[in-house]
Each structure stands twice: as C-alpha cells, then as structure tokens.
Amino acid sequence: MSEYDFIRDLVPTGVWIDGAAAPACGGATFAVSDPATGQVLTEVADGGSADALRALDSACRVQSAWAATSARERAAILRRAWEILIERTEELALLMTLEMGKTVAESRGEVAYGGEFLRWFSEEAVRIGGRNATAPGGAGRILVTQQPVGPVLAITPWNFPLAMGTRKIGPALAAGCTVIVKPAEDTPLTMLMLAAIFAEAGLPDGVLSVVPGSDAAAITEPLLADPRLRKVTFTGSTRVGKLLLRQAAENVLRTSMELGGNAPFIVFEDADLDLALTGALAAKMRNGGEACTAANRIYVHNSIREEFAARFAEKLATLRVGPGYAPEVDLGPLINERQRATVTALVDDAVAAGAVVRTGGKPIEGPGFFFQPTVLDEVPRTARMHREEIFGPVAAIYGFDTEEDVVAAANDTEFGLAAYFFTRDLDRALRVSEALEAGMVGVNRGVVSDPAAPFGGIKQSGLGSEGGSEGIHEYLDTKYVALTR
C-alpha cells in the first residue's frame, strides 16, 4: 500500500466518457508523478484517437438535448457542482499540489478561484439575451438570438489544473454546449476529479468528457478534423496555439486562445514602494512564477531601482522552498525537469550578459525539480529573458529613466497578455494604461485575474475572453431571423 493510494478513492483514473471512467481503447496507461519527489503518484488511462472519437460520439448524441434544457436547469447543475467542489476543497487542493507542485495554500486559492467560474457562469446562464428591432425600412423585423456553438474541445495546461478547465467548462455548459476536455499530461487528475463532481451534481452523461493521454495530438487531431466538432478552446503556449489555429482553419472552427505572455511590471518614481513590492511578490511568485500573467520584466525607475532590488531580494531570500504539501513551505518545485532546464538556461544567459544576481540563481539538487527564488538586477534588455517567458521563480529587474522609454520597451514584444504598473499620478495611470499593448492591465496591483472580468490577450497572446459577461459569448453563435411584419 503506497501513501498515494488515497488518490484511487478520489479520482477516476480512466478515460471519462458517458458519465463513467473506462480503460483506454487498447488498455494503455501512463504515469503521473509528483514534481517534488519525481515519484509516480498513479497510472492513468492513456487515451488516443479511438477514445477521443468515442467522446465526440457521446457528446453529439446528447448535444441537442443539452442545448434544449432550460437555462435554469443548467444553472442549477453548475451551482451544485460549485458547492460540491468547495466542500471538497481540501481533497482537491492536496491532489493539485501532488500532481502540480504549488503549495497547498495556493491550491486552496485555486479551488476558490477555479470554482468561482462555475458559480459565475451559473449566474450568467440565465442572462443569455438577444435583440429585437424594426428594420429601418419599416417592412420587417430583425430578431437576433444566441444559440450554443455545439461540441467543444477544451485543451488545458498544467499550471492551473482546475481553473483553466472550469474557465472553459463553466461558460460552455452554461451556453448549452457539450465539452471534451484534453487535460495536460502532467496534471490530468484534477480534471478527472472534477468530471466525477459534475456527475454527482447531476450533469447528464455525455455532456462532459475528459480524455487524458500522453500524446496530445493523437487525441486532438482527429477531433479537429471531424466536422461534428464546432469549437476549440485552448490555454497553453503560443507555439501550440498557432498549430491548433492552423488545424482549426480546415473546418472553420470557432476558436478561443489563451497563449503565452511576457508581462511588463513597471514601477514609476512616484510609486508607493511598499505597495509595489507587495505587488511584485504577487505578480512574480504567484503559482511559483508559472503563470502566463507572471511579471516577466520588472522595470524600475533608476532613481529607486537600487532600493527596490535590495528589498525585493530580501523578501525572496526568506521564502522557504520544499514540497508544496509540507508545512511552512512558500515555494514548491517546478513542474518537471524540462521546465527547470529552461529556467536555468535563461538565468545563465542573463548572467553571462551582465545581470547581477541579488539572490538565488541556481537549481536546487533533487529529488524534485526545485529552483532557488531568484532576483537578477541590471538585466540587459538583450538577454533572452527580456523576450521569452521565464515561467519560474526568477525576477528580472531592468532600469529605466523615462516614461516614453519604458512604455516603448514594455510594448516591444509580440505578446500582449497582462501588464502592471505602479504610480500615484492619476493622469499617468490613465495615459499608461491606454498606451500599454496588453489585454489586461493592473494599476497599483499585482494580480488581475477575476472570474467576473474578461481575461484575455491581444497580439500573439490570444483571441477571445474568458470570464466576465464576455466569456459566455465565446460559446454562443449569433443567429439573425428576418421576419416580415
């Protein structure tokens, strides 16, 4: 009996189709591991194309019946799922920490945040509107209605194993769509547990499927090629997002894309420094730095840079590193060795280019994939990390002298997801928030995510919004009915 046996009681480790877990066609499994130890947690069904198509068959069988349910029924199921999820906070949080590595405190936060998308969209389900107008010529009526898009493929990443799923499943179900989720291969357990919660909440069989697998394309390609699928929604790297957009073009699928970021975090000379330091800690270290909204480039006015760097390094140096489920740990491991190698290479490159290490700077010897909380100061803008996502606990500080220069530098990237800045000047707050090329801007705060607000990027960071009153429209088609008067 292993210490991880409890997972078997919580998580259906099969392919979740038609309201039940089943072995993958062919019977293959793959291992899911704890990034804090490298130890195998459990084996999970290794889904492939046959499983994916079985999930689509089942989605198509129930799509019209699900679309025809009343908004109140769909809302009640979402609400019930939210309630059960919150009741299971401790179990879900531990599971998420085991497969992903973040601290249990952060996992609890994700249960609350991720769960909120179910509650929020249960409330939005009953507000799907339309419009009615008289044609300007007077002879006809214009009736505009909103209808569910149809079967949706949702592909999710490992960094927020729950919330990146609920942010798609919540609005899709609220709109009346069926959903097939392909969770990340590193973290399929949380999504499988969620599927079981939905079944308990009364979601009809077939409306939600979860197909885990070690070969993502084997699952997603046959679905994208099948004319019955009507939408793909994805959170992950820009590289894979572009690939999926190309594949989605064949059947002209609706797409929502939440892709990579390279968030600037600007501290102006008139900022409240204490507030900026707290904001930087949140924007950099939330989720161990493994967030697409993470502050990737911290620009600090040269008149206060020295003080900021020293105080930030002091804060990061006190963070306790260890397994996310151990008591009194502030920072867990990175997701896997590949990610740690990427972070190490970016740090080495910056240091070779002249960055000054204020604290940390090195991977921590295993077991597990830990990296020291790191502050680099005076990073040259030619360093690779100025262009590339770090996705780890590494703060890169750059100096600047003028607003014009820092705004130009902040925008000098193909990404446009989140941006943050700190100032006490209202004029500047408005001017800079308009000038920054980002889908989300935090002013005097280091966290922007909120289920009630539209989350999304511009430029190569994505297409569409998740959350807010906007989020449900990603899963609705507009239909115009022309009536003769």
Provide the 8-state DSSP code for 455. B
- Whether omega for the bond prior to residue 367 falls within 30 degrees of 0, making it cis, is yes
Rounded least distance, CB 237 to ligand ADP, Å: 3
Does residue 184 belong to the site contacting ligand ADP (CB under 6 A)? yes
Rounded least distance, CB 263 to ligand ADP, Å: 16
Q: Which residues pair with 134 in a beta bridge?
A: 141
Please give the residue whose beta carbon sits closest to ligand ADP in the complex: 236
Largest CA distance in the chain: 77
Region near ligand ADP per CB under 6 A, out of 7-15, 33-41, 150-158, 436-444: 150-158
Q: Could you write out the DSSP letters of every residue in 35-46?
A: TTT--EEEEEE-
The one among 29, 39, 145, 237 contacting ligand ADP by CB under 6 A = 237
Which ranges in 181-322 belong to alpha helices (H)?
189-200, 216-225, 238-250, 273-285, 305-317
Region near ligand ADP per CB under 6 A, out of 50-58, 116-124, 177-185, 355-363: 177-185
Rounded least distance, CB 250 to ligand ADP, Å: 14
Region near ligand ADP per CB under 6 A, out of 16-24, 115-123, 178-186, 441-449: 178-186
- Nearer Cβ to ligand ADP (141/338): 338
Which residues are catalytically annotated? 258, 292
Side chain identity, residue 103: T
Quick check: 340 and 372 in contact, CB under 8 A?
A: no
Does residue 156 belong to the site contacting ligand ADP (CB under 6 A)? yes
C-beta atoms surrounding 378 within 10 Å: 16
Rounded least distance, CB 294 to ligand ADP, Å: 12
- What does the alpha-carbon distance between residue 2 and residue 4 come to, in Å, rounded to a whole number? 5
Site for ligand ADP in 207-226 (CB under 6 A): 216-217, 220
- Nearer Cβ to ligand ADP (220/374): 220
Q: Could you write out the DSSP letters of every residue in 256-286?
A: EEE----EEEEE-TTS-HHHHHHHHHHHHHG
For 288, residues 6+ apart whose C-beta sits below 8 A from its C-beta are 101, 102, 331, 332, 333, 334, 392, 393
For 163, residues 6+ apart whose C-beta sits below 8 A from its C-beta are 110, 113, 114, 117
Side chain identity, residue 420: Y
3-state secondary structure of 177: coil
Does residue 236 belong to the site contacting ligand ADP (CB under 6 A)? yes
- Nearer Cβ to ligand ADP (42/156): 156
Rounded least distance, CB 410 to ligand ADP, Å: 23
Rounded least distance, CB 47 to ligand ADP, Å: 11
Does residue 245 belong to the site contacting ligand ADP (CB under 6 A)? no
The count of residues interacting with ligand ADP (CB under 6 A) is 13
The two structure tokens encoding residue 432: 């800079």
- Nearer Cβ to ligand ADP (155/277): 155
Does residue 243 belong to the site contacting ligand ADP (CB under 6 A)? yes
C-beta atoms surrounding 119 within 10 Å: 20
Does residue 157 belong to the site contacting ligand ADP (CB under 6 A)? yes
The one among 154, 201, 240, 432 contacting ligand ADP by CB under 6 A = 240
Quick check: 85 and 92 in contact, CB under 8 A?
A: yes
Does residue 185 belong to the site contacting ligand ADP (CB under 6 A)? yes
- Nearer Cβ to ligand ADP (292/410): 292
Main-chain phi, psi angles of 16, to 5 degrees = -95, 105
For ligand ADP, the binding residues (CB under 6 A) are 155-157, 182, 184-185, 216-217, 220, 236-237, 240, 243
